[in-house]
Structure formats: C-alpha cells, structure tokens
C-alpha cells in the first residue's frame, strides 16, 4: 500500500502543553486516518518527532511499504535524512526510534513542506495541545 502522511507537533510555551497531528492519505489522496493526541509537557522538537513516529507507526499498521512523509519541521527532516547530526540528548532516543521505523519501508521519502501545505496536521496538533486530553 502506498501512503502519504502529513505530521505536525505543537507546543504551547516550548516547552509547554504539547500535541501531535497526523493525517494519513491513500494513494488517491483520500484521507483514511487522522490522529490528534495530547502528549503532555514537551518542547516543539519533541512534539514534531513524536508526530513523525506516530505517523510511521500508522503506516506500519496499514502495511505500507511505500511512504511519503511530509512535515513542516526542517530540523526533523534534515536529521532523519542524515544532513544534520542529532546533538540534543532529549531528541536522540526519538531519533533512534524513528530511524529504526524507517527501515521497515522499501521506499520512504521524508520531505519538508511549508506550513501552508500542512494545515490539517497543524490543526490536529494545535487542537490536541489546547484540549490537553
């Protein structure tokens, strides 16, 4: 199954109340799943990584082997694509988890997109951070 997943993380205060948003589209662009989840107190980067991890887990659960993951976090994209090193201790574990999940796909593209193209995932993440549940 070929999927496109949009992810976003939001933190109110950085660190502060944080949430994630994940939107899963099938190969025809039809929304088949979405996740809006409060993750407690976290930095924006932790929220962004958590959203990516949940997106990858969703793709694995749907038995996807070809995945395009899109996020507006340039840092996460560059780290997961090997352009930047991970220096922050609180990100290293999340990076390790995401890197291992990446290995479960035959074809995986992780792409940076503008915030304007990530409005659905952003809305889900911001809503979760605001609801705090």
Domain containing residue 126: CATH number: 3.30.420.10
pTM recorded for the entire structure: 0.97
Structural domain that includes position 37:
2-131
Which residues, other chains included, contact 7 with Cβ-Cβ below 8 Å and sequence gap of 6+? 20, 21, 22, 23, 48, 51, 52, 54, 55, 69, 70, 71, 121
The alpha-carbon radius of gyration of the chain (Å, integer) is 14
Domain count, the chain: 1
pLDDT at 121 over 80: yes
CA gap 75, 10 in Å, rounded: 14
Judge whether residue 133 has pLDDT over 80.
no
Give the three-state DSSP class for 10. strand
pLDDT digits (tens, 9 = 90+) for 99-118: 999 999 999 999 999 999 99
What CA–CA distance (Å, rounded) separates 16 from 28? 37
pLDDT per residue as tens digits for the range 57-104:
999 999 999 999 999 999 999 999 999 999 999 999 999 999 999 999
């Amino acid at each position: 199954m070929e999927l496109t997943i949009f992810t976003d993380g939001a933190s109110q205060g950085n660190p502060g109340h944080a949430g994630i948003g994940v939107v899963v589209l099938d190969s025809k662009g039809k929304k088949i799943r979405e996740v809006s989840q409060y993750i407690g107190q976290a930095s924006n980067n932790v929220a962004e990584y958590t959203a990516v991890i949940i997106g990858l887990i969703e793709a694995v659960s749907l038995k996807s082997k070809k995945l395009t993951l899109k996020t507006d976090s340039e840092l996460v994209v560059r780290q997961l694509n090997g352009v930047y090193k991970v220096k922050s201790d609180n990100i290293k574990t999340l990076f390790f988890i995401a890197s291992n999940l990446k290995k479960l796909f035959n074809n995986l593209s992780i792409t940076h997109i503008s915030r304007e193209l990530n409005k659905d995932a952003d809305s889900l993440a911001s809503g979760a951070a605001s609801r705090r549940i």
